[in-house]
Amino acid sequence: MRAVIQRVRSASVQINQGEVRSIGPGLVIFLGVGDIDTLDIVPKLAEKCAGLRIFVDEQGKMSRSAVDCGYGALVISNFTLHASTKKGKRPSFAHAANPEFAKQAYDLFVQQMEQQGLAELQQGEFGADMQVQLHNDGPVTIIVDTDEW
């Protein structure tokens, strides 16, 4: 699985040109599920994402997590994180998980994130057309790839 995590001052997602879900300060997590991923890694990934110490303390050092700060998270499914640009100019998505498994993994990730002690948790809608707006803070963007574990 791949997670692109951005520290934000605020963020929102509009789903299918309708409902808007938003958070204040915290994390936006774009989650991509790959074709070789398994569900057993999801709890560790959720713990890692919620616990990343990417918020500054009183000394200006990144030593606090979203949980420590009382912040929230917005989770967005994003199969394009498994795009391959190895050949040509059109990305291949052959290594993205099939939609049925990817939705199962995404839903489990959201469930696991709900248990991490965040102040709030919002999510996009798997497979929907989503318009994401965020105010990146820093900018701070971290990529977590469970294949590297």
- pTM flag (> 0.95): yes
Mean predicted confidence (pLDDT) in 21-48? 98
Please state, in angstroms and rounded to a whole number, the distance separating the CA atoms of residues 111 and 119: 14
Please state, in angstroms and rounded to a whole number, the distance separating the CA atoms of residues 26 and 24: 6
Per-residue pLDDT tens digits for 67-121: 999 999 999 999 999 999 999 999 999 999 999 999 999 999 999 999 999 999 9
Please state, in angstroms and rounded to a whole number, the distance separating the CA atoms of residues 131 and 18: 10
Check residue 137 and give its pLDDT.
Answer: 97
Check residue 110 and give its pLDDT.
Answer: 98
Structure tokens of 6? 């951005």
Check residue 58 and give its pLDDT.
Answer: 96
Q: What's the maximum distance between 2 C-alpha atoms anywhere in the chain? A: 48
Per-residue pLDDT tens digits for 113-146: 999 999 999 999 999 999 999 999 999 999 999 9
Check residue 64 and give its pLDDT.
Answer: 98
Check residue 122 and give its pLDDT.
Answer: 98
